[in-house]
Structure 1
Amino acid sequence: MNTPPSPRGAHHADDSAVRIGALVPLTRPGWAGAGQHLLAGLELAVREVNDAGGIGGKPLELLVRDTAADPQRAEAAVDELARLGVAALAGEYHSVVARTAAARADALGLPFLCSSGVLDALTEEPTDWVARLAPAQSHGWRIYADFLLGAGHSRIAVAADPSVYWASGTRILRDHLAPRGGSVVELDMRALSPAELCDELVTTGATALLLLVGHPDPAVPIVKAVRHDQRLGDLLIGAPAGQPELADWASKLGADGTAVPFLRYLPEHLTPLGARVESALRERLAAAPSFVAFEGYDTIAVLAEVLRSHGVDRAGIAGAWPRVAVEGTRGQIRFSRTPGIGVWQWAWPPVQVVDRDPAQPDRYRVLHVG
């Protein structure tokens, strides 16, 4: 385990402000819609911290870097932000990118509070430098598997792109479903067109297809092909990674994008803070905020409390993770050591399986609660 050495945590480039580095996907091939929501939450929380007097009388400053879903770009950004004297890192949506950022932050002795990356193995070895708000993939995707079984789906097909994240999701589903009589058929989207995928689905006998692929391509063409194939009229389409959450999904797919269950990390009722933040985020985004926006806000809420209580020394911040107790938008946030997870983990944020209502596509139906 890498324990925080105090000497390299003390330097700070600009004493006039307390700086936090933010890693956010804002351009393609990153999921820019998710990045915009994440950034909106981060920026709103920073503004509120500063309106309340900042950190020890100093303003909190967010230094934003676009990762564009590129791990190498993220690694370079971590190096740059460390040189600029940030007290900590925040953010990142894409799990594979977050994993690279976490490894580099660990190597540099730079605290990193990951907002949205869910890969269980966020770091190869246990570390004290990294904490995470989002639930581990194994936690959320097992809940999704339970939803599938409860809805009568035991033979599942996955349309998968090559990725550590998608491979991990497939393995979690298979391991959780198999002891309960379920099975997973993997269909490699490198080798299949959407039309060929439909032909394969007819032969597999699967009653559900999960989209373990990027958005908008090939997710949108796949959904359109399946929805308009009369042979597959009873097939459930699911997207555990949350592609249907954001407006871009609805604008590209319309009615075809409804009734596609996905995971989101929201409670049945937001906290009083969450209700206030929801209103402010809606105004900022000119749309309903996704759970990703709340993750961004909660990230800064936690870091601000740590900075107020433990100062801007990097080692002090990393040493504070197990003592955090912050009321967030979705419940009280505390970090602990969780079996199989090498970072400090909020165990657990609320988890729901929801879909867009066919009768009212901008309304979400809660189908299952973990």
Structure 2
Amino acid sequence: MNTPPSPPGAERTDGSSVQIGALVPLTRPGWVEAGQHLLAGLELAVREVNDVGGIGGRPLELVVRDTAADPQRATAAVDELARLGVAALAGEYHSVVARAAAARADALGLPFLCSSAVLDALTEQPTEWVARLSPPQSRGWQVYADFLLSAGHSRIAVAAQPSVYWASGTRILRDYLAPRGGTVIELDMRALTPAAVCDELVDNRATALLLLVGHPEPAVPIVKSVRRDQRLAEIMIGAPAGQSEFAEWATLLGDDSAAIPFLRYLPERLGPLGARVETALRERLAEAPSFVAFEGYDTVAVLADVLRSHGADRASTAESWSRVAVEGTRGQIRFSRTPGISVWQWASTPIQVVDRDPAEPDRFRILHAG
């Protein structure tokens, strides 16, 4: 049975928990590993908040809902969490899902700190209710475009599936590369098999192929096909959205998983807090934490600071984004208004282009930073 919603502006004083709703992709077709890492970061931070007294003596509690990369499911979860009386929303990895959640949170007047989704237009109109830790796609993918140019790639093919997110990425790449002498060639994966992709790459004299497609299908078959085509021995495969970040990628592709550059949002070196959290996350996950796990941790760190300072009133939380100054695992977090971005944005998120080292696929190499 659902708990009745708290009246607007009300705070419980009976020692009950302060609840944060967490939106996380934990089942297919969502990127499950990303969801697991995101949740690990959220949960670790909640545990640490409670170890030092919680929120004004009240325990902080996560109320987790699996979005499964489904915008409608996410919207329904936002409605449910709002009825349950959560103080704020956190999380989400998939941009299209986060956009649906942000729109609903804005309509309901429920603060939402988006952890990991990058789509620039997270809401149609500017909103005070939503803030974001991950960089906007326009910034991150321009850094990736700079990397491509610096590596000598000017004829770039994108194997793309229909999606607002993939279409936005293609547009960002084309708009940035064209004035700098670059060409973007679109390959529609609704019409092409992995073998046909190879033929298109040869015919178009592409020197790089970017995977703007889902994981593991069809990304993994495309990589296998390209890697086995002797005509394409010199082509670079890239995955700006980060498909190659997670361990499953290496498991499915073996040696073929290496040398596929992607974007991640970590500094070159972690500070003391980041290093401590990295150790704790590694223990919790039983593997190296991805940048998504750090995003989860930082999300709760910010929300806990806001809730301690301003209470669990939703309107007060939304009004506090401009005053946030929290030391996160990847640097000091402050939110500002960025031209063209409709939500409060952490403007200095660190950005790297990295890949798996062919000599040691479990080790990542930093290729470019922006």
Structure 2 vs 1, CA of residues 93 and 293 (structure 1 numbering), >3 Å: closer, same or farther?
same
Structure 2 vs 1, CA of residues 247 and 84 (structure 1 numbering), >3 Å: closer, same or farther?
same
Unaligned runs of 5+ in 1: 1-6
Aligned to 2:271: 271
Cα offsets for 1:143-164 (capped at 9, x unmatched): 0000000000011000000000
How far did 1:12 drift? 5.8
Aligned to 1:320: 320
Structure 2 vs 1, CA of residues 205 and 79 (structure 1 numbering), >3 Å: closer, same or farther?
same
Contact 1:11 1:85 in 2 (8 A): no
1:350 equivalent to 2:350? Answer yes
Contact 2:15 2:57 in 1 (8 A): no
Cα offsets for 1:1-24 (capped at 9, x unmatched): xxxxxx734366985000000000
Contact 1:212 1:239 in 2 (8 A): yes
Aligned to 2:97: 97
Unaligned runs of 5+ in 2: 1-6
Amino acid at match of 2:66: D
Aligned to 1:217: 217
Aligned to 1:135: 135
Tell me the distance in 2 between the aligned counterparts of 1:278 and 1:349: 17
Matches within 5 A, 1:187-266: 187-266=187-266
Aligned to 1:334: 334
Contact 2:213 2:219 in 1 (8 A): yes
Amino acid at match of 2:114: C
Aligned to 2:73: 73
- 3-state DSSP of counterpart to 1:8: coil
- 3-state DSSP of counterpart to 1:302: helix
Aligned to 1:167: 167
Contact 2:325 2:333 in 1 (8 A): yes
How far did 1:348 drift? 2.0
Structure 2 vs 1, CA of residues 310 and 212 (structure 1 numbering), >3 Å: closer, same or farther?
same
Structure 2 vs 1, CA of residues 234 and 80 (structure 1 numbering), >3 Å: closer, same or farther?
same
Contact 1:13 1:85 in 2 (8 A): no
Aligned to 2:289: 289
Amino acid at match of 1:232: L
Tell me the distance in 2 between the aligned counterparts of 1:193 and 1:123: 35
Contact 2:159 2:187 in 1 (8 A): yes
How far did 1:84 drift? 0.2
How far did 1:271 drift? 1.9
Tell me the distance in 2 between the aligned counterparts of 1:54 and 1:217: 42
Structure 2 vs 1, CA of residues 117 and 14 (structure 1 numbering), >3 Å: closer, same or farther?
farther
Contact 2:11 2:312 in 1 (8 A): no
Tell me the distance in 2 between the aligned counterparts of 1:9 and 1:256: 54
- 3-state DSSP of counterpart to 1:58: coil
Aligned to 2:307: 307
Aligned to 2:124: 124
Contact 1:9 1:110 in 2 (8 A): no
1:186 equivalent to 2:196? Answer no
Amino acid at match of 2:134: A
Tell me the distance in 2 between the aligned counterparts of 1:144 and 1:259: 15
> Where in structure 1 do 4 or more consecutive aligned residues deviate above 2 Å?
7-15
In the comparison of the two structures, how many residue pairs are matched? 364
Contact 2:302 2:326 in 1 (8 A): yes
Tell me the distance in 1 between the aligned counterparts of 2:9 and 2:283: 37
Contact 2:45 2:301 in 1 (8 A): yes
Tell me the distance in 2 between the aligned counterparts of 1:36 and 1:144: 26
- TM-score, normalisation: structure 2: 0.97
